[in-house]
Structure 1
Amino acid sequence: MGTINLMRNLILCLVGFGCLCMTWAEKPVNTVGQNPTPPNIIYILADDLGYGDVSVYNPAGGITTPNIDKLASQGMRFTDAHSPSSVCTPTRYGLLTGRYPWRSRLPVGVLRGYSRTLIEADRPSIASLLASSGYNTAVIGKWHLGLDWTLQKEHESLVTTDGYGIQSELNPDHIDFSRNPTQGPNSIGFTYSYILPASLDMPPYCYLENHKLVELPMAYTKGQKPAADYSGPFWREGKMAPSFDFHGVLPTFVAKAQAFLKKQSRRKPFFLYLPLAAPHTPWMPTNAYTGKSRAGEYGDFVQQVDAAIGEVLQTLEQSGLANNTIVIFASDNGPYWPKNLVNQFNHRAAGPFRGMKGDAYEAGHRIPFIVRWPGRVKAGTVSAAITTLTNLMATCQEMLGNKDDRFTTEDSYSLLPVLLGKASHVADQPAVVHSSSAGYYAIRKGDWKLIQGLGSGGFTQPATGKPEAGGPIGQLYNLATDIAETTNLYQQHPEKVAELTGLLTRIRQSQTKVTGQ
């Protein structure tokens, strides 16, 4: 009888264990293991940082980035990651919405500090996705996606003017700064925001906390004129808060991020979007970092950015939450680093790639991209998967098991299987599309890249080119054999041109997700 009872108990234990395994397997991936809550997420976005500015990507460069390098050693480093645009505003739109930026109300170009909100209040975003999944959501840093500034009574009718505030900047004399903007980051799912309205060289120079000006922009700066190559410490003239300090912006964002992290607990997951305003111009490192690199003021500023990231990650460690936190590091586009600076400092900010910020060439949009997720992403791994920053939305959806169709956007594909080491490429992603500052489109599929137009389409000269009689009207490169985009194969491979042109047209015209490798 004892033997029968023993066998029965053993069978019940085995059945129970099997049921337990099935239960864990059915749960969203984030709940597997020792962490009972979904993972926290910190997304650090550098501003105008080049692929070759991070020393783990470019050991021979003139800049050292020990904190970013350490992050790479603890996670997965991508070598073929891209921003959806080669300038600021469009990339940020794509990252937060999961849509290519040319689908927005501003298909080409960037907003200014007095521009209206580009992301509509009812547009699903990564912030609203995570907020609906129980996350505390915060943005601290450079916003550059517009604010619905409140206009003075006599100018309110101007908002109905087609394009006023989006295609053209609001007149600051029309704004009532005593009243809060009516839309901004808190309108699209962020429960906390502390932001600089736009780039550090664009007025107004001030901070807003939860859409409220921390200090009214009652002072005025005459600006700092740029050097001939637009390098160094320059900024545009305009309104500023009386106590605003250009050197203090990066430390301010670090302090605010640290304060946010110290308030978090294991009971509720958090998402911190930390878009830094550096190393974008003005290149103004503090005294502690001046002269520390071999790449001038820019290199010194990059090393200050690296130290700032180290401070934030140290606070995360001290909070005891690091083991259940995904840390993502990326740049919004390539660096502003013309050839004269490459030659002067012997530093290739864009690494081996052609061009710079603004361009359709690789340097405009090939970016450093690193993901650390303790216990889930294998430390010290390197991935050659082609990916783009619009993929955050679908990745978080799959990670959380969120099947809400509102968040299934046109241009986002899950990177999760790649991160977990289960795939070498992004499944179903038909291609990656880039847009330049001048509106050139480029499409990448496998080894092949097509640019619709001649010239860089951006800041590198010539920006455009007129087709010669019988010559190519676009550019085609095989990046497997020509990473520097030196040999235009447009006329040698008409079949590849036709294939990529057709796929680009299909993606641009589709209002739903296009799938297939």
Structure 2
Amino acid sequence: MVSIHSLSYFVLLFVVFSCESPKKVTGDKHPNIVYILADDMGIGDVQAFNPDSKIPTPYLDQLASEGMRFTDAHTSSAVCTPTRYSILTGRYNWRSTLKNGVLWSDSAPLIETERSTVPAVLRTKGYHTAFIGKWHLGWDWGHDADGNIDFTMPVTHNPNDLGFDYAYGHVASLDIPPYVYVENGQVTAMPIDSTQSEDRYGWWRKGITAPDFIHEDVTPNFFRKSIAYVEERSKEEKPFFLYLALPSPHAPILPSPEWQGKSGLTPYGDFVMMLDDYVGQLMAAIKEAGIEENTLVVFVSDNGVAPAAKIDELIAKGHYPSGIYRGHKADIYEGGHRVPFIAKWPKVIKAGSASAQTICTTDLMATCAEIVGYQLEDDEGEDSYNLLPLFSGEKLGRPYREATVHHSDKGAFAIRQGKWKLAMTAGSGGWSFPTPEDVEKIDTLPPLQLFDLSNDPREENNLQAKYPEKVSELKALLTRYIQDGRSTPGAPQDNDGEKIWEQLWWMRL
């Protein structure tokens, strides 16, 4: 049994807004925007979201106390690549050609250069835009006559071609070679050796490695680069957008020596503490640069905690990285995609506020467009909703989103509307029990799962047989979202690739 006081979590189900008048977006100067994306961090890892967390996160807690905490925030997918696609495009990931899983190191780019992105939109309004971190959306390496990557050749179809003025990072996760940095389309140092780690926590696959690519220093390096970028750009009149996509606390789990053993749990706990401290350093840099008041900072994870964190060992020590929620990374259950989401913008957001509205990581596009006065076309941000009314504390009197679609590693769908969640799969659709393979063996589970999250946040009671009308209603809404190519008002759009693919089994009947 999860040792979390139920009262603490039921409080999170209500919107907490000030009784004061909502703050308004005023003035001519657009805000700087800093978007920090953690990798494989669970909602239960941050004490601001889980008071019973055993991992101290003082700087993330401070960020929450100075901004707004979203207690019902979701990534569009329960794994890495798809979530990153949706953040930058405002479009559900399954509308792309990638219908399940993630990209690899030499995969073709997922975002077409013709598709509108958040940085491209912001550049039209005078922003300087930067990407620092883990890309994991594919780019085009140069290849020699034998088909091997030629690291002397320019990298094309890279973040610079998708709206970023400056780009520095690596191609995928820190356990996927090649291990090189690419800066503005050029490899920063020629790989001359191969490295591999078989450490239980800090393992990575064998692969060619550049001399300036030190696995243990990648996360610190990205923060150093980000702090330097903030210090430099704060001196300019032009506003900036920084997309800091961290490779941590995803495996390899590599806390620096000064953090090892600090959590009293496992290396994963130490790694989360290290990340938290670096977030504090970045926030301090923003404050010291004198731009805190009109800088929007968003912190979110790309999906739930991963099994590589050794979840059972954490639980044995009293720490529940998914909080009260079922499942973890890759799953259609809440633990796969319900994530910590914090927004701070002193000029607009009331400190210490919270929202229980359901939001999604697709919402960055429409939010940024509204902030800068950009009118989205019908083929831009098809699944993106503007967060500004929530930031400013408006009393909406209605749900913020009509509904939200979730997606698992194996490509299974779920749709959430209000308290109801309908999963179009018999199991997790991911890596926790029952996996798709388990479902085939059991062969007695209903093909659908309907949960009332207001009374059953742990998703223990499947109500699909009791409420067939609700099942039909949600299934019809999900089908419409898929067929229309969008979930927001506007002209219908086309999805990429097949029109009806394997995971849309109910549309084949």
TM-score tier (shorter): 0.7 to 0.9
Instruction: Tell me how far 1:407 sits from its aligned partner.
Output: 6.6
Q: Does 1:440 align with 2:412?
A: yes
Equivalent residue number for residue 83 of structure 1: 75
Instruction: Tell me how far 1:448 sits from its aligned partner.
Output: 0.4
Please list, as runs of the form range in 1=range in 2, the aligned pairs for 1:223-302 lying within 5 A after superposition: 223-225=196-198, 227=200, 232-264=201-233, 265-302=235-272
In the alignment, residue 280 of structure 1 is paired with which amino acid?
H
Instruction: Tell me how far 1:428 sits from its aligned partner.
Output: 6.5
Deviations 1:188-246 (A, max 9, x none): 0000011121111111111111111111222112x22364xxxx111111111124211
Instruction: Tell me how far 1:375 sits from its aligned partner.
Output: 2.4
Equivalent residue number for residue 24 of structure 1: none
Instruction: Tell me how far 1:100 sits from its aligned partner.
Output: 0.4
Change (3 A) 1:77 1:425: farther
2:281 to 277, 296, 311: 311
1:423 to 395, 412, 426: 395
**Which is worse superposed, 256-265 or 271-280?**
256-265
Counting matched residue pairs gives: 462
SS in 2 for 1:90: helix
- CA-based RMSD of the aligned residues comes to 1.9
Please list, as runs of the form range in 1=range in 2, the aligned pairs for 1:43-192 lying within 5 A after superposition: 43-152=35-144, 154=145, 174-192=148-166
Equivalent residue number for residue 179 of structure 2: 205
Instruction: Tell me how far 1:97 sits from its aligned partner.
Output: 0.3
Q: Does 1:484 align with 2:454?
A: no
Equivalent residue number for residue 190 of structure 2: 216
Quick one: distance in 2 between partners of 1:349 and 1:412? 28
Instruction: Please say if residues 386 and 425 of structure 1, whose CA atoms lie closer than 8 Å, have aligned partners that are also in contact.
Output: no
Q: Where do 5+ consecutive residues of structure 1 fail to align? A: 1-28, 156-172
Quick one: distance in 2 between partners of 1:423 and 1:256? 39
SS in 1 for 2:70: strand
Equivalent residue number for residue 375 of structure 1: 347
Quick one: distance in 2 between partners of 1:115 and 1:425? 45
Please list, as runs of the form range in 1=range in 2, the aligned pairs for 1:287-366 lying within 5 A after superposition: 287-337=257-307, 340-366=312-338
Instruction: Tell me how far 1:511 sits from its aligned partner.
Output: 2.4
Quick one: distance in 2 between partners of 1:52 and 1:511? 33
Instruction: Please say if residues 125 and 407 of structure 1, whose CA atoms lie closer than 8 Å, have aligned partners that are also in contact.
Output: no
Q: What's the TM-score once normalised by structure 2's chain length?
A: 0.87
Quick one: distance in 2 between partners of 1:448 and 1:238? 45
Equivalent residue number for residue 18 of structure 2: none
SS in 2 for 1:237: strand
Quick one: distance in 2 between partners of 1:425 and 1:210? 46
**Which is worse superposed, 501-510 or 405-414?**
405-414
Change (3 A) 1:57 1:471: closer
Instruction: Tell me how far 1:340 sits from its aligned partner.
Output: 2.0
Quick one: distance in 2 between partners of 1:426 and 1:437? 31
Equivalent residue number for residue 494 of structure 1: 468
Change (3 A) 1:40 1:427: farther
Change (3 A) 1:394 1:425: farther
Deviations 1:379-398 (A, max 9, x none): 10010010000011111111
SS in 1 for 2:320: coil
Deviations 1:38-71 (A, max 9, x none): 0000000000011010011112221011111001
Q: What's the TM-score once normalised by structure 1's chain length?
A: 0.86
Instruction: Please say if residues 386 and 426 of structure 1, whose CA atoms lie closer than 8 Å, have aligned partners that are also in contact.
Output: no
Quick one: distance in 2 between partners of 1:435 and 1:185? 25
Instruction: Please say if residues 311 and 321 of structure 2, whose CA atoms lie closer than 8 Å, have aligned partners that are also in contact.
Output: no
Instruction: Please say if residues 52 and 349 of structure 1, whose CA atoms lie closer than 8 Å, have aligned partners that are also in contact.
Output: yes
Quick one: distance in 1 between partners of 2:325 and 2:486? 32
Q: Where do 5+ consecutive residues of structure 2 fail to align? A: 1-23, 491-509
The alignment-based identity, stated in percent, is 45
**Which is worse superposed, 452-461 or 420-429?**
420-429
